[in-house]
Amino acid sequence: MTARTAGPVLIVGSGLLGASIGHALRALDVDVALEDSSPSTLDLAIDYGAGRRAESDEKPALVVVAVPPDQLAAVIGAALVRFPDALVTDVGSVKVSPLAELVENGAPIERYLGSHPLAGRERGGAISARADIFLGRPWVITPHAQTTSAQIHAIEALVLDVGAAPVQLSPEEHDHSVALISHVPQLVASLMAARLVDAPSAAVAIAGQGVRDVTRVAASSPELWVQILTANAAQVGPVLSAIRDDLATLEAAIVAHGAPGARRTIAELLRSGNTGVARLPGKHGGDARFAQLVVLIDDRPGQIAKLLTEVGELGVNLEDLRLEHSPGAQIGIVELSIVPEARDRLEEELTTRGWRIAG
């Protein structure tokens, strides 16, 4: 592939997102320079091949700021002053407050265009960086009043080069959206995981995929999330309030489950969850519902690879996959999500090939 992004690109901050962008652009032979306030973090990112060490006389065409939320406005402002010919973007998860601070400080925001990839991993740092973490993921571009169409096209080029899907939202729309689909889910996962701290060992020992799915992101950095949540407090607060109200209603209905209407209240709240999850987009975007096929596999090396190979040989496209395996169990469960019209044929073909179908 030929890169759409014109270098040199300077990435300020060489943690997970900064280094991952570096890896993705380097794979397209884009000249990537790295800076970081931590010498050891910078050295590690360079050692892993995310880019070269920035020179004192760098003249980047594009600057990507990938620093923690509490440093965003200061680092963006400094980059706008240092590089008067460069377009500056960032990958921060909050957009309104950094832009407001830049305006308050008199920064030349006509060369700043914020953006935010909805991608990441539970573990951070350059050691966890990968070129493919953006593949198929939304990357929000947040134009403001002084943004030009050429600047939008330049950031879209970066987004497409790393394999992500560009989406345009205003800074306000962005912060409201991520409060709902990212920031509050992080809190819900962490609160649920906190119930496990004092849980009996017997309960933890039988934990299945359900609790693992709910708590997966709870391993994220508390220090980073404190910054994100406080920076977007105005949008996170109302979502938490709505969840609090639903929890209070649910708690009252469960406690008084024998009272008239209590079971209906519980059912309606659960049905709302069904309706909400049905709106989540499929692999290629757009509302979609898929059929599930559960396959039992033996607990021995190579079984998952064999199953996926045979599904591919049968010409069935996987929309999603979920794996469940409890320690010590002799079988694993693979739940395949596929288009409904392929389900019956896939079940028949896999059964013929000796696979055990559970549902």
Contacts of 58 (CB under 8 A, 6+ apart): 8, 10, 33, 83
- If asked whether residues 181 and 166 sit together in one domain, one would say no
| Whole-prediction pTM | 0.80
DSSP string across 112-165: B-EEEE----SS-SGGG--TTTTTT-EEEEE--TT--HHHHHHHHHHHHHTT-E
Share of the chain above pLDDT 70, in %: 95
pLDDT of 282 higher than 70: no
Greater model confidence, 337 or 22: 22
DSSP tag of 110:
G
Contacts of 26 (CB under 8 A, 6+ apart): 32, 49, 50, 51, 131
pLDDT of 326 higher than 70: no
Q: Is residue 63 part of a domain?
A: yes
Q: Is residue 118 part of a domain?
A: yes
pLDDT of 312 higher than 60: yes
Answer with the one of 247, 278, 309 that is the final residue of a domain.
278
Tokens 């939304």 locate to 138
pLDDT of 284 higher than 70: no
Tokens 């599930």 locate to 292
Question: What's the pLDDT score for residue 242?
Answer: 97
Number of Cα atoms under 13 Å in the Cβ half of residue 150: 6
Answer with the one of 215, 247, 278 that is the final residue of a domain.
278
- If asked whether residues 67 and 123 sit together in one domain, one would say yes
Residue 306 DSSP SS3: helix
What range defines the domain where residue 21 resides?
9-170
Quickly state the pLDDT bin for 126 (edges 50, 70, 90): confident
Tell me the per-residue pLDDT of 221-232, one tens digit each, with 9 for 90 and over. Answer: 899 899 999 999
* CATH for 341: 3.30.70.260
Using alpha carbons, select from 278, 314, 276 the residue that is nearest to residue 293.
314
Quickly state the pLDDT bin for 59 (edges 50, 70, 90): very high
* CATH for 235: 1.10.3660.10
Answer with the one of 170, 203, 235 that is the final residue of a domain.
170
Per the structure, how many domains does the chain have?
A: 3
Tell me the per-residue pLDDT of 12-52, one tens digit each, with 9 for 90 and over. Answer: 999 999 999 999 999 999 999 999 999 999 999 999 999 99
* CATH for 72: 3.40.50.720
Q: Where are any strands of DSSP class E within the chain?
A: 9-12, 32-35, 52-53, 62-65, 87-90, 114-117, 138-142, 165-168, 291-298, 320-324, 331-338, 356-357
Other CB atoms within 10 Å distance of the CB of residue 85: 8
- If asked whether residues 114 and 182 sit together in one domain, one would say no
- On the 0-12 / 13-18 / 19+ scale of CB atoms within 10 A, 276 is exposed
Q: What are the CA-CA distances from residue 294 to residues 52, 137, 263, 314, 353 (Å)? A: 47, 26, 30, 17, 15
- From first CA to last CA, the distance across the chain in angstroms is 42
